[in-house]
Amino acid sequence: MVTESPNKLTIKVRFMIGCLCIHGFTGGPYEVEPLANFLRENTNWLVELPTLPGHGGGLELLRGISYQEWIQEAEQALQNLLNKCSTVFLVGFSMGGVISGYLATKYPIEKLILLSAAAYYVNPKQLLQDIKEMASDGIRGTLSDNELFQRYRKKIIETPFTATFQFQRLVKQLKPTLSEIKVPTLIVQGELDGIVPKKSASYLYNTISSKERELMYLPKSKHLVCHGRDKEELFKAVERFLIK
């Protein structure tokens, strides 16, 4: 049996780059998977996508889960990656962006990317526009073909109220820590996002302490920016930001 000396193993691990991608509330790794796959295909990094407690299955699984459990799972995943890699990037989507921002103040990550980060929640103006589109589809009898309606109808009906309350508590608890972010940060926001308003991105840009921060708006994207019409521009911007 061939074995490696401890010194060789240490050297191999030391030079590995890792990237942790944290998904949003009621979602799952699929929300950031297109970006993760892009990074895997274009780098030799170790890219990991943990599933937060209660997520990744039926929405009823969120019942009884506390917001502390979501933070703890993300924190454990980050600790594990830091043990494997000498350089770690952190990507957070929506609620995962708030969690990532908090973890960036506690751990020695290299760079931070916040995608549709939910420092604020629900964009009334865009949401109204989306509802109007749904109503038009309803009149035409094509509501079943409206992707937005199908996605959020299920979430609104099936998400336990207690889980929504826990999400609100998480944002309230972690939002004050975001001003302590000092690592280079890229903030990305879809201009057509009906869930997280544009003011969330501008708030983050004006609040975090990092001297190296960028704000990128995607004019054709809604909330799921990794699946949006601007996703190719997003992926290239992320790659440029992390590699420079």
> What is the tens place of the pLDDT at every residue in 168-182?
999 999 999 999 999
Instruction: Tell me the two tokens of residue 242.
Output: 């992390």
H/E segment holding residue 115: strand 111-115
Q: How far apart are CA 126 and CA 197, in angstroms?
A: 8
Q: How far apart are CA 244 and CA 235, in angstroms?
A: 14
Q: What is the pLDDT of residues 124-155, one digit of tens each?
A: 455 556 556 555 555 565 545 544 555 555 56
Domains in the chain, ordered, with CATH? 6-24+31-243 (3.40.50.1820)
Q: Where are the alpha helices (DSSP H) in 64-160?
A: 67-84, 95-104, 124-140, 147-158
Q: How far is CA 98 from the centre of its chain?
A: 8
Q: What does the pLDDT read at residue 125?
A: 55
Q: What is the pLDDT of residues 4-57, one digit of tens each?
A: 444 444 444 455 999 999 999 999 999 999 999 999 999 999 999 999 999 988
**Which phi-psi region, left, alpha or beta, contains residue 202 (left: φ > 0; alpha: ψ -120 to 50)?**
alpha
Q: What does the pLDDT read at residue 157?
A: 63
CA dihedral 190, 192, 193, 194 (to 10 degrees): 170
The stretch 89-117 carries a mean pLDDT of 98
